[in-house]
Structure 1
Amino acid sequence: MPHHKITATEIDFREEFDALRTQVNDLLQSLKSKSEKTADTLVENIESKAEHYQDQAEQKLHDVYEAGNAGLHDVSEHVRKNPVASMLIAFGVGYALFKVLGQGK
């Protein structure tokens, strides 16, 4: 059985290979850590923006509700002050809808 001597070159190669493997593992761990931090930051940003847009939507809905209430108040005030004119307008709108829908042919 032949006896194989390990040369200094083979030892140097193995040491360099082990060092390279350690560096690659360290690099992969670093990348994994950075990607996890980046993902966490991205999720936080998305959640923050979603909350901001939800707040804006709620404010717009509140504004529309307030405008609707103000409009109803104005209409009811107008009807209260001018009941005959309001009744004639309502009758005219109803008659026009009746004609448009084809029921008055």
Structure 2
Amino acid sequence: MAENNEEPMDALRNELTNLRDQVETLVKSLGESGSAVSSDLIAKLANELEHYRKMATDKMHQMYEAGSAGVENMGEHVRKHPLACVAVAFGAGCVLSWLFRQSK
């Protein structure tokens, strides 16, 4: 699941890098040219920011849905095999207890 999320995150990083470059261009143009050029760049930047906001919201929803699906799958597994899950939880608790006692 981590590999599935890395590609969208890399794409988001690349787009944020492009946004940063555009902001730098805007700052340079404000110093060099008149308000007509800068207002066009500001409008373009506003559109880009809205695009990134929507993209980030979509990615957040996708990650939330993936997490919800994982929780549902785990719940279904527990419903099908309750005794095995209790035994695994008990065993994990015993191992953690033993490890914490060893560290003192």
Report the Cα distance in structure 1 between the residues aligned to 2:97 and 2:52, rounded to whole angstroms. 43
Report the Cα distance in structure 2 between the residues aligned to 1:53 and 1:96, rounded to whole angstroms. 45
Q: Calculate percent identity across the aligned residue pairs.
A: 37
Post-superposition CA distance 1:36-95 (Å, at most 9, x none): 111101111111111111111100110111111111110000000000111111112222
RMSD of aligned alpha carbons: 1.6
Q: Does 1:103 align with 2:101?
A: yes
Post-superposition CA distance 1:23-44 (Å, at most 9, x none): xxxxxxxxxxx61111101111
Report the Cα distance in structure 1 between the residues aligned to 2:48 and 2:98, rounded to whole angstroms. 51
TM-score calculated relative to the size of structure 1: 0.61
TM-score calculated relative to the size of structure 2: 0.61
Counterpart residue type for residue 101 of structure 2: Q
Report the Cα distance in structure 2 between the residues aligned to 1:62 and 1:78, rounded to whole angstroms. 24
Divergent runs of 4+, >4 A:
none
Report the Cα distance in structure 2 between the residues aligned to 1:64 and 1:96, rounded to whole angstroms. 31
Higher helix share: 2
Q: Does 1:93 align with 2:92?
A: yes
Give the total of aligned pairs.
71
Please identify the structure whose Cα radius of gyration is greater.
1
User: What residue ranges of structure 1 are gaps of 5+ in the alignment?
Assistant: 1-33
Q: Which has the higher contact order (CA 8 A, sep 6+)?
A: 2
Measured at CA, do residues 99 and 41 of structure 1 come closer, stay the same or move farther in structure 2, by a change above 3 Å?
Answer: farther
Aligned residue for 1:103, secondary structure, equals: helix
